[in-house]
Structure 1
Amino acid sequence: MGRGKELTKEQIAAISSLILVGKDNKEISAITGLALRSVQRWTKKFKDAGESDPPLQKKRTGKARLTSQRTLKVLQRQVDLEPRISAKELRDKNPRLLQDVSVCTIQQCLRDDLCFQYRAPRRKPILTTLQKKKRLLFCKKYFAWEPEKWKKVLWSDEATFTVTGNRGGKVRLRAGSDPYHPKYTEGTVKHPDSVMVWGAFGYHGTGELVVLPKNLTVNKERYLKLLADHLEDCFIACQSEIFQQNGVPAHTAKLVSSWFEWVGVDYIRDWPGNSPDLSPIENIWALMKRRLRGRDTSTVPKLVAQLQDIWANLDPSLLQNLALSVPKLFQSCRKKKGYPTKY
């Protein structure tokens, strides 16, 4: 039978100190919670050593490692250069260094020794060099705004939500149950309907969540009508003075900008394109999608009702924190030199 689990230095020291105060093996076992045989073995070692210091733990013998520190450094350097490289590709790329090392061992070294996590890449918009430059200049310009000014901004955006029979979560099956019984399955739709919503929020609250007809998207004419019908009410409800919108073509069309000039809307004119990570309303859309899980959204009316319920019950403190988080978003973009941030 093989040896049991190694004792720690603290456990060995505890045994030695109890021996010195005259405790027998059974008492030491009861006090420390260690197995009696382990206590007996270390008591014998302590007495044989004839010293007051605890005896040293002997290092167990075992198979020699196939990956040296030099090998680990080579792996780390290559993975840093090529984060998508697989363990098999690493072995094929270094035949002399890793010819006797299995793919599983390489994977274990990457995980345990080099602390590389193997995960799907985060999805972020592709930015051109010009877009990154504009993002950086924009964040430098507006980072100087005081918190009181950010409290006056009305953040707006559209988002699309899809009808689904997926209510989220997992099911519990008894052993031998039929996993294809209707109560254990979820319905799927081949070409599901969707609805686009437009919403706006500020430090002091939210405006009305505007729901477009199903499967309809925004163009410049629909967007202008939406603004004409709802923007003033949103400004009043949110106690805001400055309008924000992203840079999609329907928003930046001459028809829309001319209307802004005609009615005197103060808005952020130089918002950089492809920059959802700089707008706090994106956090609200993500939150709403999470809260839809487990709810019945199997038809358009049910989906719309759930969306309106979630929107109406957003925590005011959440809105305030998001409105005041904008400088942090801009600072993160500056540190990334215009590249996408984690937000």
Structure 2
Amino acid sequence: MRIMRSKELPEELRDRIVARHRSGQGYKKMSAALKVPKAGRPAKLSYRGRRALVREVNKNPKITVAELQRCRREMGESCSKSTITAAIHQSGLYGRVARRKPLLSARHMKAHLKDSKMVINKILWSDETKIELFGLNSKRYVWRKPGTAHHLSNTVSTVKHGGGSIMLWGCFSAAGTGRLVAIEGKMNAAKYRDILDINLLQSALGRRFTFQQDNDPKHTAKITKEWLHNNGITVLNWPANSSDLNPIEDLWDIVKRKLRDARPNTLDELKAAIEASWASITPQQCHRLITAMPRRIEAVISAKRIPDQVLSA
């Protein structure tokens, strides 16, 4: 900051300013002692205004700069968007793209908690997944010396379009894994019904069970519902946006980790490795995944801070 331009000051005052400056006195003290205002553009945003902006952003991280600008204008302090952005940056806050996450409403969470308190050992969990041949090895870490990135031993094989893939349907319970089916061709409601007809009851091994499936249109199609009804199968009410809470997702992760070690190079090798990986999963692993369900759902509810009155309604 500089003292007001010299041409606007009397010569005697200018001399006093120069003398104080040469003696090492700072601008702030000079301004106070000589009653001369410091020059420079006045701040467009007051200290109180900056604090108000930070409060608004902390209260509502999704608020836009335009909305903040309108708020300041309503408070009688107009300023540009760049001024607002700079003020927020000075407080250590920066605009970033929000991470995408399935929306779980209070109703959804209440449904999750209710279902988790059922006799979970009697639920047969199911889902589909797709495993690409070379997608398994698309990202691997290697120890190597500088300049050897393209040596054969330091690379992984890739082919156009991933080298093919296998779509799978599987199920499991606390007692262990059920049938695993490689799906040929395009999956539709009729094919899904046939998979259930051949594999579902056999996977239960005569035990009574409640069947879990998500809300995919193939699962809720009329012919699927008719088959489930005709076979006397009770279906677990599965709330929307729940795929990340299905324990079979963890089972698929176990399979895929084992496949990375197997490193298959053809679809036949991939299919054989998948079957071996599925067969190696123990009942103890399945039981641990199932018994962890209530804790996982409780954690989701705690993180969302759902009021007690909502859960007790």
Q: What TM-score does the superposition give when structure 1 sets the normalisation length?
A: 0.59
The aligned counterpart of 2:232 is 264
The aligned amino acid for 1:124 is K
For 1:227, the equivalent position in structure 2 comes to 196
Q: How big is the shift at 1:198? A: 0.8
The corresponding residue for 2:288 is 321
RMSD: 3.6
**In 1: Cα distance, 2:257 partner to 2:96 partner:** 21
Out of 185, 189, 206, the position equivalent to 2:177 is: 206
4+ residue runs over 6 A deviation: 71-77, 118-121
Q: Which residue of 2 is the match for residue 151 of structure 1?
A: 121
SS of 2:240's partner is coil
CA distance in 1, matches of 2:204, 2:268: 28
The answer as to whether partners of 2:173 and 2:287 remain within 8 angstroms in 1 is yes
Q: Is the 8 A contact 1:167 1:294 kept in 2?
A: no
* Conservation of the 8 A alpha-carbon contact between 1:136 and 1:337: no
Q: CA deviation at 1:299?
A: 1.9
How does 1:78-227 map onto structure 2 within 5 Å? 78=57, 81-82=60-61, 93=84, 95=86, 123-125=100-102, 127=103, 132=105, 134-145=107-118, 149-164=119-134, 166=137, 168-175=139-146, 177-192=147-162, 193-213=164-184, 216-227=185-196
For residues 159-190 of structure 1, give each alpha carbon's deviation from its aligned partner in whole angstroms, at most 9, with x where no partner exists. Answer: 11111072753233334x44223332222222
Equivalent residue letter for 2:282: D
**Whole-angstrom CA distance in 2 between matches of 1:194 and 1:312:** 20
Rounded to whole Å, the distance in 2 between the matches of 1:119 and 1:316 is 43
Alignment-derived partner of residue 26 in structure 2: none
Q: Using the alignment, how far apart are the partners of 1:332 and 1:132 within structure 2?
A: 15
Partner deviation per Cα, 1:196-239 (whole Å, 9 max, x = no partner): 111111111111211113xx3421000000001111110108x4
Look up the match of 1:277.
244
For residues 50-89 of structure 1, the aligned pairs below 5 Å read 78=57, 81-82=60-61
Q: Are the structure 2 counterparts of residues 173 and 207 from structure 1 closer, same or farther at C-alpha, using a change threshold of 3 Å?
A: same
* Letter paired with 1:186: V
Q: Deviations over 1:275-294 (max 9, x none)?
A: 11231111111232233324
Note the residue ranges of structure 1 that are not aligned, 5 or more in a row.
Answer: 1-70, 111-115, 339-343
Aligned partners of 1:321 and 1:174: how far apart in 2? 41
2:218 corresponding residue in structure 1:
250
Q: CA deviation at 1:81?
A: 4.3
Deviation at 1:92, TM superposition (A): 6.0
Task: Write the distance in 2 (CA, Å) between the matches of 1:249 and 1:228.
Answer: 18
Report the Cα distance in structure 2 between the residues aligned to 1:161 and 1:96, rounded to whole angstroms. 48
Identity %: 29
Match of 2:16 in 1: none
Conserved? CA contact 2:188–2:218, under 8 Å: yes
Count of residues in Structure 1 that have an aligned counterpart in Structure 2: 240
